Every structure is written in structure tokens, then in C-alpha cells.
């Protein structure tokens, strides 16, 4: 009996079979949870938080769904993590990663039950992944040289990414927005300079891309509404420090005249500061903090447009876009870099007034304004667009492209199967399992569309026996279709990341043979 007492009272451990069972089951449950969101006919999930306000999120993005879940099962957490990493790394394929890892484990479970050692399975999986990657590498298309073709590739990728999201109805429109925005980045993957503004009202098709920078602020009273050839000073400084408002400061005066003197002194200090700022030769002043009414008057008199409370990401971006720097002291004007743009004007979107900076120094920046019926729609549209932007910006750098619609999985499965037949020993069983797991992705895409997956997959497999075949699942017509013709493309980088992450996660979970859960801390009674 004494041996059992290594752990504290509440701690529990699961060994061998039970531990493996529990981790397999947890991981498969997570995979089943998101697998209905896969593919163009995938469904959305409503996530309702139990916090204050009971916020509701409607989403189809695997990473968003899994991020919002609170999960107890340790193996399931591994899957949540890989989907997060996939989201940060390439932006799309978050659902596929989880589904693939889940399927690999489902197959591995059968092998473990058949008394094959997990290490053997892992060795088999490793060989299979190598083989699958090489199969993809042989089939990639790279149109980097030909701008027209490359642009159409990007359009196809954007359409394919968006077709499983809420934007699928207007995917032409949004694919164009996304490609335009990314082409302006000229190869940087920094999505900071693409700003997305969400304004409820209108419908999704009213969304547009603006080649400039839009600041979600109003122009102050009595100030010029429109400035051409603007010189902009972006600042982060308090325009109210010059009032006597130190906490608990008491000023005793013996007459009202003295109060007036103090106020006069305050005004003079403010005026001095404003004059220093105007001394930079600017005609637009954007501040992160507030500007008092008095300095605002002074700015208006000098014909300078003053914008207060521009939020932090607002001014950071503005500085980035106009090529200025954020200043906080104004004593030596020659060292401050001012921002420039051709025109500042006020525009209306819906019923909100916004300030638009056009003709900015950095051509990379642009603003996408999303319109939609409700906040939920807008949030989801933003997530979908963000996915598309991520994938596109990655593709601009790594321009290798594959066909979509279950085609890459079929190609990989075929190669892996061929390798398994040549490999002696138990590893070959693991490889066959790997190819079955790959086939699960097209199967699920077909299932979500309500098609007869078994029939379709066997047809696909037969088609893929011929060299240079481009067949995949055409969900719209519900049959095997030609992916090249339909223009269904995916980025190689996404597929590659999916393959590697899913296999590594599955390996990690396979290696587990014991789960030790710690005892919860007891709260001492302080009574």
C-alpha cells in the first residue's frame, strides 16, 4: 500500500493504456468539433462567453473557435496550440491542421491496439511526411516571373481561402480587395500598414479599399476641413500639463485678481507650447492625448488642423504611413521628422465622419473599410479577410502554389502508399495509416457538402493513378472536377505548415504513456 503514496492526496495518475486512451479520445473530440467547419460548405459555430455581457462570436475560423474553448484534456491542448501557431505563422489552414492531427491519432490508435509500438508508428510517420513533402515539392507551380499569371494565382488563392468563410458570396470582390492590398505591400509580410476599419451599415459588398490612411476621428471645430500638401506632426504629448492641477495642490489668493493672474500664466505657458509646435512649419497636428480648448483655438487661428485622442495604433500607423516620427518634445524643430501627404479631408462613411489622408509617402499603406449588417458579421468578415491577407502576403514571398480541393492530399496519399509498399517491416503499416489520414481531409470536405464521400474518394483515387492529373472535389457541382480549370489554388506554404505541424503534434501525443494530474492547491481556512 505504501508505494501508492508518492503523490499527494488529490493527485491522480493514469498509466499506459488508460493514459493513451484519454489523450487519443481528447484529441479526436477536438478534431471532430472543428471538422464541420472545413471546406466551402463548412458550417459556422456560435461561441458564447459566460463572462459579463455574454458576448457572442459567430465564426468559422478554426483557431478562433479553439482559442475560445477552455479545455481540460492535456492532449486536446496540444491541438489548440498547433492551430494557434498555424494562425500566427501562415494565417490559414487552422482547421486542417487540427483535423489532420486528429485523423493521424485515430489511425495510430488502431495500430497501437494491434500491438505496434508507438516509436515504430512515429518512425513510419516521419518517413511518410518526408515522402509527402517531396511529392508536393515536385508538383508545385511557381509563376513569380510572370506578373499577370502570378496575380491570377493570387486571386485564385484569395478566392479559395475566402470560399470557406462568410465572405464566400462576394468572394470576387473581397479577393480583389485582398490582392490589391497585398500587392501594395511589395513583399513585406507586415500587415500593420493595411488598416481595417469596421463600420456597421450597408452590406458586405459595399466594402472598399482606400489608397491612403483613414483615421477614425472627427476634425475639431472651426478648423480647416481640407488641407492640401499637408505637413504633419505626429505627437504624443499632453496639452494640458500647463494647468495647475497637481493633486491636492492648494493655491491661496487674497483677491480675484490673483486668480486671473494664475490663469493668465497658465494660458501663456500653453500659448508658448503651441507656438513651438506651430514653429515646425506644419499645418496638421495629430496628438495621441487630449488637446484643451484653448490650444485648439490657437491652432485654429494659425490655420493648423489639430486632431486629438488619436489612439495609439492610430498614430503609430499614421507615423509609419506618412513617414514622420512620433515627437514628444518640441524644443529643436530641426531634428523632428515631419510626415507628408498630399491631401487631408473629411469623408463620411455611414453616418460617421472620418479623416482621410491621401497621397501618403509610403505607398504600401492602405485602408480597407468593411461594411456589414451587424457587428458579428463585421468581426467574422475581418477574421476572414485577415486570413486571406496573411496567406497572400506569405505567398508573395514564397510564390509556390498548389491546386486545392483535396488534390494535394490525394497526391501525397498516392506517393506515401507507394512508399509503404516498398518498405519492409512494421513501419509500412504506419505509412499506410498516414495515407489514410491524408485521405480523410477530402473525405470530410465531401461529407460537409453532403456528398457521398466514399464514392467520390474512390473515383478520385482512380483518377490520380494517371500522371499529371488535376482532379479534386468540386463541391459546387458535387462531383470530381478539374481543379486547374476551376482555379482552386492553395499556397504551398500553408499546406507545408499543415503537414508538418499536424504530424509533430500527433507524434507528441503518441509518445505519452502517463498523465499525472497535480493536486489542486488547498485554500487554508483563515478563520
Active site residues: 61, 94-95, 387
**Closest by Cα among 95, 82, 93, 104 to 33:** 95
Q: Rounded to whole angstroms, how far apart are CA atoms 446 and 442?
A: 6
Contact 307, 287 (CB under 8 A): yes
Q: Would you tell me how many other CB atoms lie within 10 Å of the CB of residue 119? A: 11
By the 8 A CB rule, do 133 and 503 touch? Answer: no
Q: What length is written for the chain?
A: 527
Q: Which residues of 168-200 are buried (b: 16+ CB within 10 A; e: fewer)?
A: bebbebbbebbbebbbbbeeeeebebbbbbbbe
Q: Are 493 and 394 in contact (CB under 8 A)?
A: yes
DSSP 306: E
**HSE-up (13 A, CA, CB side) for residue 217:** 25
How far is 11 from 517, CA to CA, in rounded Å? 6
For 26, the grid coordinates are 481528447
The distance between the two most distant Cα atoms of the chain, rounded to a whole number of Å, is: 103
Q: Which cell goes with 504?
A: 509533430
Place of cell 468572394: 171
Note whether 364 and 383 are within 8 A (CB): no
Cell of 236: 504624443
Of 493, 447, 518, 467, the closest CA to residue 91 belongs to 493
C-alpha cell at 29: 473530440
Kindly state the cell numbers that stand for 415: 506517393
3-state secondary structure of 106: helix
- Exposure string over 207-243, b if 16+ CB within 10 A, otherwise e: bebbebbbbbbebbeebeeebeebbbbbbbbebeebe
What are the grid coordinates assigned to 297, written together? Answer: 483655438
**Grid coordinates standing for 466?**
494517371
| DSSP code of residue 91 | S
400 beta partners: 142
First to last CA, the chain: 35
Amino acid at each position: 500500500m505504501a508505494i501508492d503514496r508518492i503523490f499527494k492526496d488529490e493527485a491522480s495518475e493514469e498509466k499506459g493504456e488508460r493514459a493513451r486512451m484519454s489523450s487519443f479520445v481528447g484529441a479526436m473530440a477536438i478534431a471532430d468539433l472543428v471538422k464541420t467547419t472545413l471546406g466551402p460548405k463548412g458550417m459556422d459555430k456560435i461561441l458564447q462567453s459566460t463572462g459579463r455581457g455574454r458576448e457572442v462570436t459567430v465564426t468559422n475560423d478554426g483557431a478562433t473557435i479553439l482559442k475560445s474553448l477552455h479545455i481540460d484534456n492535456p492532449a486536446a491542448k496540444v491541438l489548440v496550440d498547433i492551430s494557434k501557431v498555424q494562425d500566427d505563422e501562415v494565417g490559414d489552414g487552422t482547421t486542417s491542421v487540427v483535423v489532420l492531427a486528429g485523423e493521424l491519432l485515430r489511425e495510430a490508435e488502431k495500430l497501437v491496439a494491434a500491438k505496434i509500438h508507438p516509436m515504430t508508428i512515429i518512425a513510419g510517420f516521419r518517413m511518410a511526411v518526408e515522402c509527402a513533402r517531396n511529392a508536393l515539392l515536385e508538383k508545385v507551380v511557381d509563376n513569380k516571373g510572370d506578373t499577370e499569371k502570378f496575380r491570377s494565382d493570387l486571386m485564385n488563392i484569395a478566392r479559395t481561402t475566402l470560399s470557406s468563410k462568410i465572405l464566400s458570396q462576394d468572394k470576387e470582390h473581397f479577393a480583389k480587395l485582398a490582392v490589391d492590398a497585398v500587392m501594395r505591400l511589395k513583399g513585406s509580410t507586415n500587415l500593420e500598414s493595411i488598416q481595417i476599419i469596421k463600420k456597421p451599415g450597408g452590406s458586405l459588398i459595399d466594402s472598399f479599399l482606400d489608397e491612403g490612411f483613414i483615421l477614425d476621428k472627427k476634425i475639431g471645430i472651426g478648423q480647416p476641413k481640407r488641407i492640401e500638401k499637408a505637413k504633419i506632426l505626429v505627437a504624443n504629448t499632453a496639452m494640458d500639463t500647463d494647468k495647475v492641477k497637481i493633486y491636492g495642490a492648494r493655491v491661496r489668493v487674497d483677491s480675484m485678481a490673483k486668480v486671473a493672474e494664475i490663469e493668465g500664466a497658465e494660458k501663456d505657458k500653453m500659448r508658448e507650447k503651441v507656438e513651438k509646435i506651430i514653429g515646425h512649419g506644419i499645418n496638421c497636428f495629430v496628438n495621441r492625448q487630449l488637446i484643451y480648448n484653448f490650444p485648439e483655438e490657437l491652432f485654429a487661428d494659425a490655420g493648423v488642423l489639430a486632431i486629438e485622442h488619436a489612439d495609439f495604433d492610430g498614430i503609430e500607423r499614421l507615423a509609419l504611413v506618412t513617414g514622420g516620427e512620433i515627437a514628444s518634445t518640441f524644443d529643436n524643430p530641426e531634428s523632428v521628422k515631419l510626415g507628408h501627404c498630399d491631401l487631408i479631408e473629411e469623408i463620411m462613411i455611414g453616418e460617421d465622419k472620418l479623416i482621410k489622408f491621401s497621397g501618403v509617402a509610403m505607398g504600401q499603406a492602405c485602408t480597407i473599410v468593411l461594411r456589414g449588417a451587424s457587428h458579428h458579421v463585421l468581426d467574422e468578415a475581418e477574421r476572414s479577410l485577415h486570413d486571406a491577407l496573411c496567406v497572400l502576403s506569405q505567398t508573395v514571398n514564397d510564390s509556390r502554389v498548389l491546386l486545392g480541393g483535396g488534390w494535394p492530399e490525394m497526391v501525397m496519399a498516392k506517393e506515401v502508399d507507394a512508399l509503404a509498399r516498398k518498405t519492409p517491416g512494421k513501419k509500412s503499416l504506419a505509412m499506410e495509416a498516414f495515407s489514410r489520414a491524408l485521405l480523410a481531409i477530402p473525405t470530410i470536405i465531401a461529407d460537409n457538402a453532403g456528398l457521398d464521400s466514399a464514392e467520390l474518394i474512390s473515383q478520385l483515387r482512380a483518377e490520380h493513378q494517371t500522371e499529371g492529373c488535376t482532379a479534386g472535389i468540386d463541391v459546387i457541382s458535387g462531383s470530381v472536377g478539374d481543379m486547374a480549370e476551376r482555379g482552386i489554388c492553395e499556397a504551398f506554404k500553408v499546406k507545408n505548415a499543415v503537414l508538418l505541424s499536424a504530424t509533430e503534434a500527433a507524434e507528441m501525443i503518441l509518445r505519452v504513456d502517463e498523465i499525472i494530474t497535480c493536486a489542486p492547491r488547498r485554500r487554508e481556512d483563515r478563520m
